[in-house]
């Protein structure tokens, strides 16, 4: 069944409704119609959605649907959908399902034979991408980088291995971690890696910082505080161009600089990279087999 269009009543089904990521003008006419005509709005945070309801005089009742009750609530809502209700899902900002709740209820609804309608609109990653100046022909959305430095390095090193084949990569990043993330990008890809940092998109203080990671990092570091919401984008350079240290080279350096026995140096390296000791050992053997790590 199709969403029945402007003049007909809303068709039964699940509506994944994008909402603004900062600028309230970025709500679509269709989103307003769907939110007003639905039987229920399932919200990531009902207080956040209340602001939208107040601003646009939407009276539809709300229910919470967030990462902590996602599975249980999704099953309840699917029962209501099967009975013919029209339920809209919204997150705090942007497109539901993209680094936000929404995907699970969509797949449960599909499995139950309930129609699922996307109601497109704002999304931080795509907004940043199209204005980044980077290649948009081949890109991937990578969500949030791991919070722990070791795991973040491992994720970035994996991208480095993929090199240009990874295309333009877009990450979400929290304000208190953007500096660390940029430092890790610099460590893995080198100071000349071109990056784009998109801050506060669609808001009053929207800003794009574009350039070599070192200078973008210096620009942000010179500020009193680093605030706002961020999307980080870059197209990884080819493996041969980056200066990242191999695991074997790091182990050898720790042995040399700190006088550690090999196993202790390996343990330290594994910890810093957020991987297990045995995984690090296997990687070391692989590198030795391929002549790397010297």
Residues that bind ligand SAM (CB under 6 A): 21-22, 91, 93-95, 98-100, 123-125, 172-174, 198, 200-203, 229-231
Q: How far is the CB of 122 from ligand SAM (least distance, A)?
A: 7
Nearer to ligand SAM, 125 or 187 (CB): 125
Compute CA distances 78 → 37, 105, 264, whole Å: 18, 7, 53
Q: Which DSSP state fits 24?
A: G
Q: How far apart are CA 216 and CA 39, in angstroms?
A: 47
- Chain position whose Cβ is nearest to ligand SAM: 94
Half-sphere exposure of 182 (CA within 13 A, CB side): 30
Nearer to ligand SAM, 26 or 186 (CB): 26
Q: How far is the CB of 205 from ligand SAM (least distance, A)?
A: 10
Q: How far is the CB of 221 from ligand SAM (least distance, A)?
A: 19
Nearer to ligand SAM, 121 or 191 (CB): 121
Q: How far is the CB of 125 from ligand SAM (least distance, A)?
A: 6
Nearer to ligand SAM, 202 or 215 (CB): 202
Nearer to ligand SAM, 26 or 283 (CB): 26
* Beta strand 13-17 pairing with 116-119: parallel
Compute CA distances 281 → 109, 119, 183, 275, 287, whole Å: 45, 49, 26, 10, 10
Nearer to ligand SAM, 11 or 155 (CB): 155
Contact 42, 75 (CB under 8 A): no
Nearer to ligand SAM, 229 or 283 (CB): 229
**CA 105 remoteness from chain centre:** 19
Q: How far is the CB of 161 from ligand SAM (least distance, A)?
A: 25
Q: How far is the CB of 277 from ligand SAM (least distance, A)?
A: 33
Q: How far apart are CA 53 and CA 285, in angstroms?
A: 59
Q: How far is the CB of 243 from ligand SAM (least distance, A)?
A: 28
> How buried is residue 57: exposed, middle or buried, by Cβ count under 10 Å (0-12/13-18/19+)?
exposed
Which strand ranges, in their side-by-side order, compose the sheet holding 207-212?
A: 139-144, 168-173, 230-234, 194-199, 207-212
Q: How far apart are CA 46 and CA 73, in angstroms?
A: 14
Q: How far is the CB of 230 from ligand SAM (least distance, A)?
A: 5
Nearer to ligand SAM, 123 or 149 (CB): 123
Task: Evaluate the CA torsion angle 220, 163, 190, 263 in order and state its sign.
Answer: positive
> How buried is residue 22: exposed, middle or buried, by Cβ count under 10 Å (0-12/13-18/19+)?
buried
Strand partners, 41: 62, 88
Q: How far apart are CA 237 and CA 239, in angstroms?
A: 6
């Amino acid at each position: 069944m199709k969403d029945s269009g402007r003049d007909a009543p809303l068709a039964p089904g699940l509506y994944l409704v994008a909402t603004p990521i900062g600028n309230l003008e970025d709500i679509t006419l269709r989103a307003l119609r769907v939110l007003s005509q639905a039987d229920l709005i399932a919200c990531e945070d009902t207080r956040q959605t209340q602001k939208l309801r107040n601003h646009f005089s939407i009276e539809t009742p709300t229910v919470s649907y967030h990462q902590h009750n996602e599975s249980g609530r999704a099953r309840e809502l699917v029962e209501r959908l099967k009975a013919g209700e029209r339920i809209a899902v919204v997150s705090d900002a942007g497109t539901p399902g993209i680094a936000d709740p929404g995907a699970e209820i969509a797949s449960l609804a599909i499995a139950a034979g309930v129609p699922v309608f996307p109601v497109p609109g704002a999304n931080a990653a795509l907004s940043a991408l199209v204005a980044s100046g980077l290649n948009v022909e081949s890109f991937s959305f990578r969500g949030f980088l791991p919070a722990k430095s070791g795991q973040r390095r491992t994720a970035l090193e994996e991208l480095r291995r993929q090199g240009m084949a990874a295309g333009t990569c877009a990450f979400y990043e929290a304000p208190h971690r953007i500096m660390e993330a940029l430092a890790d990008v610099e460590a893995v890809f080198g100071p000349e890696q071109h990056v784009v940092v998109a801050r506060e998109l669609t808001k009053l203080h929207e800003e794009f910082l574009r350039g070599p990671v070192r200078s973008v990092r210096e620009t942000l570091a010179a500020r009193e505080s680093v605030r706002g919401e961020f999307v980080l984008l870059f197209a990884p350079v080819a493996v041969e161009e980056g200066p990242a240290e191999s695991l074997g080279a790091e182990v050898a350096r720790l042995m040399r600089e700190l006088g550690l026995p090999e196993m202790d140096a390996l343990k330290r390296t594994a910890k810093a990279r957020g991987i297990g000791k045995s995984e690090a050992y296997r990687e070391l053997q692989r590198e030795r087999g391929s002549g790397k790590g010297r």
